[in-house]
Amino acid sequence: MRLTELLRQPQALPVVPEVAAKLIATFHQDDVDLQAVNRDVERDPALAARLLRQANSSFFRLARPVQSVRDAVAVLGLNKVRALVIGASMQDSFRAVVGVDLDDFWHYSFAAATVARLICAPRRLDENVAFTAGLLHGVGELVMHMGMVEAMQPIDRDTPLLALHRAGAEYRALGYSYAEAGAALARHWHLPPLLVTAIEQHGQPLAHDRLEPLAAVVHMAAWRARVLVNGNRPDDLIHTYPDAVGEILGLDPDWLVAPDVAGLDQLSVL
């Protein structure tokens, strides 16, 4: 199935939930009413509960637990809460996906977000945008599995969902990968253009006329998260390291290949 056909499948691109839509709109606002954000999230008890579980997970390593949406906004800040709500909304929009273990998928996504945030810190890139891009970069897999179940089955059989060379297998079979499908969902949900570009280009950040640094960051983060979920095998850490992208970002390979980098070995998402 071509990408254009996939995107015409109604189940592939769910409508953005109301709360997420309101928070996405705040990307373009200079002055955000945090009280309104609190009220909007609190009106959806299931979403609020998911936000609090994620905020209190080891992903953030908070000094004290957060007890309410207002507390989460105060402790984490708008940017992280917005990303968590958008992520949680996507989880709710893709509740059961044939061929995808959603617990494993979101564990991987949070691991990628952790690494993306840390890579950005010393590079004058917005760690909050990187956090969001890392968290959402893989959602195209959900789009593809919802929109064309049968076409994904042979790919899943031959190349596991979180395999290091998954994108290549999808390109060979379909002519596109989860990166392009994820960017389509990001556009559909009206996420900022920078996030759309980072999601779309992260698989091959050097293949474009102009390098988008955030796409390069997500590329490295996604690679490291895949190595993690595949067992942190020394051969993978050493022999699949994306040298060219890492060099452009000025990364120290020894830091990123360390088995316990960023505390990933302790990461959990509730």
What digits encode the pLDDT tens for the residues 185-205? 999 999 999 999 999 999 999
Cβ atoms of 75 and 67 closer than 8 Å: no
Average pLDDT over residues 8-27: 92
pTM of the model: 0.92
The distance between the two most distant Cα atoms of the chain, rounded to a whole number of Å, is: 50
Average pLDDT over residues 111-122: 88
The rounded percent of the chain whose pLDDT value lies above 90 is 73
What digits encode the pLDDT tens for the residues 67-90? 999 999 888 889 989 999 999 999
What digits encode the pLDDT tens for the residues 46-61? 889 988 988 888 777 7
Candidate from 76-80, 154-158, 178-182, 193-197 with smallest mean pLDDT: 76-80
- What's the CA gap between 262 and 144, in Å, rounded? 30
Average pLDDT over residues 228-247: 94
Residue ranges of domains in the chain: 3-266
Whether the pLDDT of residue 270 is over 50: the answer is: no
Average pLDDT over residues 109-130: 88
Whether the pLDDT of residue 266 is over 70: the answer is: no
The rounded percent of the chain whose pLDDT value lies above 70 is 97
- What's the CA gap between 75 and 41, in Å, rounded? 16
Question: How distant, in Å, are the alpha carbons of 37, 215, 223, 229 from that of 50?
Answer: 16, 28, 27, 23
- Torsion over CA: 64, 104, 178, 207 (sign): positive
* Highest CATH level, class, for 3-266: mainly alpha
Highest mean pLDDT out of 18-27, 103-112, 162-171: 162-171
pLDDT bin (cut points 50, 70, 90) of residue 267 is: low
- What's the CA gap between 251 and 18, in Å, rounded? 39
Average pLDDT over residues 128-135: 93
Q: What is the DSSP string of 175-202?
A: SS-HHHHHHHHHHHTT--HHHHHHHHHT
Measured at the CA of 188, the angle between CA 178 and CA 177, to 5 degrees, comes to 10
Contacts of 130 (CB under 8 A, 6+ apart): 113, 116, 117, 119, 120, 214, 217, 218, 221
- Please give the pLDDT value at position 269: 53
pLDDT bin (cut points 50, 70, 90) of residue 268 is: low
Type of residue at 34: L
Type of residue at 242: P
Average pLDDT over residues 83-108: 92
